[in-house]
A and B are shown apart, each in its own frame.
Chain A
Amino acid sequence: DADVTQTPRNRITKTGKRIMLECSQTKGHDRMYWYRQDPGLGLRLIYYSFDVKDINKGEISDGYSVSRQAQAKFSLSLESAIPNQTALYFCATSRSTGPDTQYFGPGTRLTVL
């Protein structure tokens, strides 16, 4: 969905490196989310933000941090990447009113060697 973009789309890095994944949206949504997906598994929530000044941990936040730079931007950082953080990472957005229907970016495939 072009309304939610993620950069980079693919990244290979080494253990111990700091990595930042970026998400931008043009949907005007207040809420933004970061998920990771491992092969054969569903999505697990890392962090979410309901507005610019709001940051909340999800179920697997250890080893990750986030920054909500603006309504349209939400970045995910791996301070010191480790191999078990190899996964597909998705950003999503939703409105602050009404049902929490989410709109997903195309994903970032991260490989940590």
Chain B
Amino acid sequence: SQQGEEDPQALSIQEGENATMNCSYKTSINNLQWYRQNSGRGLVHLILIRSNEREKHSGRLRVTLDTSKKSSSLLITASRAADTASYFCATDTGRRALTFGSGTRLQVQP
């Protein structure tokens, strides 16, 4: 089963609005990462948050991590049509390889 599960599975918003995606996981982690995938292409790393961090920012991205609830959220502010993609969380437990969730498909309407 997946270590990370994203919610919602799909999200459609208008340009300029904020998009929030959530990720829940099951076991303790060293860090949690978010990746983006444009249709049919390879994943691209967006941001990493360590287990001892609660919030991190990168440009229009804001990631939070709540280790007590085993959850993370990715906020994209002032979304653009070019943000249309699938977003995946991935957990690093330090034991073997990353485990990816099933993703959130974001559609930003111009």
Contact = CB atoms under 8 A, between A and B. Distances in A.
13 contacts: A33-B97, A42-B2, A42-B102, A45-B97, A48-B96, A90-B42, A92-B42, A99-B31, A101-B33, A101-B48, A103-B45, A104-B42, A104-B44
B42 A106 contact: yes
A48 B45 CA distance: 19
Contact of A90 (B2, B33, B43): B43
Given A99-B48, A101-B33, A101-B48, A43 B97 contact: no
A109 interface: yes
B45 A101 contact: yes
Interface of A: 1, 4, 33, 35, 40-45, 48, 56, 58, 88, 90, 92, 99-107, 109
A87 to B, nearest CB: 12
B27 interface: no
